[in-house]
Amino acid sequence: MLNTSNLSVLIHEQAKVYGEKTALSYRDYDTSSWKEISWRDFSRMVSQVSNALIHLGVEEQENVAVFTQNKPEGVCVDFGTYGIRAISIPFYATSSEAQIQYMINDASVRFLFVGEQYQYDTAFRVFKMCPTLKRLIIFDRKVELNPRDQVSMYFDDFLNLGKGEPYADEIQRRVAAVQPDDLVNILYTSGTTGVSKGVTLTYRMYAAAIPANDKVMDLSEDDVIMCFLPFTHVFERAWSYWCLSRGCQLAINLRPQDILMTLREVHPTCMAAVPRFWEKVYSGVQEKIASSSAIQQKLMLDALAVGKRYNVDYKMRGLEPPLPLKLRYKFYEMTIIALLKKTLGLENANFFPTAGSFIPPAIEEFVHSCGIKMTAGYGMTETTATVSCDWHHSPVSIGSVGRVLEGIEIKFGEMNEILLRGDTITKQYYRKAEITAQAYDEDGWFHTGDCGYLKNGELFLTDRIKDLFKTSNGKYISPQALESKFVVDRYIDEVAIIADERKFVSALVIPDYALLEQWARDNAIAFENREQLCQNPLVNKMILDRIVTLQQEFAHYEQVKRITLLPEPFSMERGELTNTLKIKRPVIAKNYKEQIDAMYEE
């Protein structure tokens, strides 16, 4: 049953219902085992955080920041902060010194929680440049303090300040004073197009978003949720709060690079993911098929073909499959498909919300063909995550981002821009009155910057206005449409389309280096390093030929004419990717100007 209690008391109310049932679990890397935290202990830690924060002097609606990777301590701090009517601001664990300094100063943060050594070192280096910052509180006891540090304390010492609940009466008074439009979070956007903006989220927004999602998707207290995306991301944050409201167990993945291992250890029923995760799964399966014997290839391809007919052509459309197809699918479901799910750790799968960027149709079709219920969706930080998603008991079309949630009004403006109104939509960017005014029209419609259309009740996205390229010939190019088409190729890992103010379309390509190296060896192409491999004309021709095949459906002026293979992936360290792994196109254009210009030389 959905608990609709205010976030300031949600954990305590759930603890009354679930007691010793597991609320949170996490991997202890020292023992290579998973540790569990009951609802009762979760509630106790949240209460200690609330009391300790008051002991330090945190005021109502004061900003408290959390700079960490996913950790149970971070979740406890969030809810402990809500419990005293204060505001939690999460920072991405990979944020740079410049980003941290900007956000601390923008939000006038006094108290900053940090996770491990990187976060501590980064925060300590900017401490003197942040006039409001008073104290760092460190989650990991293994963090080594700077010899000059006189401002930090460890989390367990911090918790001791709240033992015995010395401020219970004050906490009760603050909780009673909570208003629907009080701020809960300030989430700083990842900044693909410029300066990071603080999106304000309120109790009213969460109170509208959680029940709206609950009405259209099947979640229960028996579900085990793998928390893979950073809690800093509104998708994982809002999704997790819904899951906690349902009494689910959150299995917290501490290290993103270990997700395939932790999936096999936990066997979750649900996990919020971005398309990039499923692209990697798709590539792995395609490689497994390519390296199998002829008989195995035939069986696996037939299993996927049968899975497509059963799940995509019938079940997703709300149709009943014919008996012969049911029987064939049942056979594969118990054999090849079952083995695939078990290999991934998804044999207990319920559903997997997927959003954050465009989902290539081939990837979506593949996941459903494997009998995994991908629930596609669309949303933004400014909309408390979900605007639309696949409703579990309504027909679903490949390529759509589902149906708009109850309580959200939608209409389309110039260039078919999606405009929204409703209680889940933010009312302001933090301390950015001018930018806030630009985001809304006089009738209160929020301008998303995304283009789309409705068909048979489902929302389809077409372009992002700011991402559209205009060639020197006056033609508009949608880079996402091309990029999503190319990344399904097993030899292509990442792509950045180049076209703005250029006379034709080109692309920077990050190949799958392992597969490309093997292809070169199989074709007697000598190379000493990746640079030589990426510069080889035969290698470039092979990749371009594959791109030419993939882009046949596009108009001639939209098609890629030249490519450059890059010997290193795009990186967050060089500013080329956001914390959510989206390409920062202006940075790509600047960092690779020489390579890009070379593609346009006559």
Give the model's pLDDT for residue 408: 98
For residue 557, pLDDT over 90 is answered with no
Give the model's pLDDT for residue 379: 96
Give the model's pLDDT for residue 4: 96
For residue 555, pLDDT over 90 is answered with no
Q: Over the chain, what is the mean pLDDT? A: 95
For residue 521, pLDDT over 60 is answered with yes
The four Cα atoms 296, 299, 303, 304 give a dihedral, to 10 degrees, of 60
In DSSP notation, 57-93 reads TPPTT-EEEEE-SS-HHHHHHHHHHHTTT-EEEEE-T
Write out pLDDT tens, residues 410-425.
999 998 999 999 999 9
Instruction: Provide mean pLDDT across the span 570-591.
Output: 86
Write out pLDDT tens, residues 322-358.
999 999 999 999 999 999 999 999 999 999 999 988 8
DSSP tally for the chain: helices H, then strands E:
22, 25
Q: Nearest 5°: phi and psi at 288? A: -60, -40
Give the model's pLDDT for residue 190: 65
Confidence of residue 566 (pLDDT cuts 50, 70, 90): very high
Write out pLDDT tens, residues 212-234.
999 999 999 999 999 999 999 99
For residue 193, pLDDT over 60 is answered with no
What residues have CB less than 8 Å from 485, skipping those under 6 apart? 360, 550, 551, 554
The H or E element that residue 352 is part of is strand 352-354
Give the model's pLDDT for residue 191: 55
For the chain, give the percent of residues with pLDDT over 70.
99
Write out pLDDT tens, residues 362-410.
999 999 999 999 999 999 999 999 999 999 999 999 999 999 999 999 9
More confident: 356 or 268? 268
Burial of 433 (0-12, 13-18, 19+ CB in 10 A): exposed
What residues have CB less than 8 Å from 138, skipping those under 6 apart? 113, 114, 115, 120, 152, 153, 154, 155
Pairing of strands 87-91, 374-380: unpaired
Give the model's pLDDT for residue 602: 77
Give the CA radius of gyration of the chain. Answer: 25
CB atoms under 10 Å from CB of 523, counted, come to: 10
153: closest CA among 137, 134, 140? 137
Measured between alpha carbons, how far is residue 503 from residues 483, 550, 553 in Å? 19, 21, 20
Confidence of residue 195 (pLDDT cuts 50, 70, 90): low
Burial of 400 (0-12, 13-18, 19+ CB in 10 A): buried
The H or E element that residue 327 is part of is helix 323-334
Write out pLDDT tens, residues 14-45.
999 999 999 999 999 999 999 999 999 999 99
Confidence of residue 194 (pLDDT cuts 50, 70, 90): low
Amino acid code (one letter) for 51:
N
CB atoms under 10 Å from CB of 376, counted, come to: 25
Give the model's pLDDT for residue 579: 72
390 three-class SS = coil
Give the model's pLDDT for residue 189: 86
For residue 540, pLDDT over 70 is answered with yes
Instruction: Provide mean pLDDT across the span 69-82.
Output: 98
Question: Domains plus CATH for the chain?
Answer: 39-218+231-242 (3.40.50.12780), 468-599 (3.30.300.30)
Q: Where are the alpha helices (DSSP H) in 370-505?
A: 433-439, 479-486
Instruction: Provide mean pLDDT across the span 537-558.
Output: 93
414 three-class SS = helix
